[in-house]
Amino acid sequence: MLLVVDSLVKRFGGLVATDNVTLAVPAGQIHAIIGPNGAGKTTLLSQLAGELRSDAGTIHFDGEDITALPAHIRAARGLARSFQINSVFKDFTALENVALAIQVHEGHCFRFWGQVAKDAALQSAALGFLAQVNLEERANIIAANLAYGERRALEVAIALASRPKLLLLDEPTSGMGANESAEIVTLLAKLKRTLTILLIEHDMNAVFALADRITVLVYGRTVAAGSPEEIRANTDVRRAYLGEDEDF
């Protein structure tokens, strides 16, 4: 198991945002987390990434207990995340965004003289990641000037560029048109062989197309977990959540 989450709890005052969540993700799989709004999905992701401290429970990653580690150390160990709301470095070009992630992953950031812009190896590696998300044409555009869908794609490229063992994706297709969504789904399917992914997603077509395993969260609690087929068949899930969903 690459990621083992055991009885994780997060409270905000009286509100329990994640309530004894337990899950395990083996290497090489895509694990989706679904649930209605306010189910605690993003909170869980922030706990895994280390931005939020957990009140109880443990997180093991790659065999190590990372529950107490700060976010940037977890990232350095191979846990990358994307954000639901576009969160790129908006004054950098697309290329610079990706190059930054690469150099941070390489760990050579206390260099004060050599120019990133003239670092051919770095530039071509960054272009490679941009190509994966079909952005190589837009490499020199300032991120703030990219189209919305392009920025979502860039978000994924940044996450990929830190060569993570586990990718935490927070609704990678949110706000995208059907065509753009499809592109992302294709990309993730392509990555599936090489990468482990924990995916939060609203688009059920995407989830069922990609996921090896699905966990359903409602009000912070796990109401069901299993293969896509099992979830599809689960009556609890139908009643609690999926029943109303037209896509289903």
Partner 1 sequence: MQSRTVVAAVIFTALALVPSVATALNQSFYIDVGIRILIFAIAALSLDLILGYGGMVSFGHAAFLGIGAYAVGILAYFGVHNGLAQFVAAIVVSTLAALFIGAVSVRTTGVYFIMTTLAFGQMLYFLAVSMSKFGGDDGMNISSTSDFGGWLDLHNPIVLYYTCFCFLLGFAVFSDRLVGSRFGMVLRAIHMNEQRAVAIGVGSFRYKLTAFVISGAMCGVSGALLANQALFVSPAIMHWTRSGEILIMVILGGIGTLFGPIIGAVVYLLLESTLSRITEHWEIILGPFLIIVVLFAHRGMLGWIAERRRAPTK
Span near partner 1 by CB under 8 A; candidates 4-12, 98-106, 180-188, 222-230 = 98-106
Q: Residue 75, SS3?
A: helix
Which of 10, 31, 41, 81 is in the footprint of partner 1 by CB under 8 A? 81
| Single-letter code of the amino acid located at 121 | A
* Per CB under 8 A, 188 contacts partner 1: no
CB of 127 to partner 1, least distance (A): 11
CB of 231 to partner 1, least distance (A): 29
155 neighbors 180 (Cβ within 8 angstroms)? no
* Residue 28: partners with Cβ closer than 8 Å, 6 or more residues away: 192, 193, 195, 196
Question: Measured between alpha carbons, how far is 211 from 189 in angstroms, rounded to an integer?
Answer: 9
Question: Measured between alpha carbons, how far is 25 from 16 in angstroms, rounded to an integer?
Answer: 24
* Per CB under 8 A, 110 contacts partner 1: yes
Which of 72, 189, 235, 245 is in the footprint of partner 1 by CB under 8 A? 72
Interaction residues for partner 1, span 212-231 (CB under 8 A): none
H/E run at residue 21: strand 15-25
Residues binding partner 1: what is the number (CB under 8 A)? 44
| Single-letter code of the amino acid located at 184 | I
Q: Which is nearer to partner 1, 5 or 94 (CB)?
A: 94
Which of 64, 65, 91, 244 is in the footprint of partner 1 by CB under 8 A? 91
Q: Which of 92, 108, 100, 71 minimizes the C-alpha distance to 161?
A: 100
Cβ neighbours of 176 (radius 10 Å): 18
Q: What would the x/- binding string for partner 1 be over residues 133 to 152, using CB under 8 A?
A: ------xx-x----------
Q: Which of 102, 158, 110, 164 minimizes the C-alpha distance to 133?
A: 158
Span near partner 1 by CB under 8 A; candidates 1-9, 68-76, 192-200, 239-247 = 68-76
Residues in the site for partner 1, rule: CB under 8 A? 49, 51, 70-73, 75-76, 80-81, 83, 87-93, 95-96, 99-101, 103-105, 108-117, 123, 139-140, 142, 158-159, 161-162
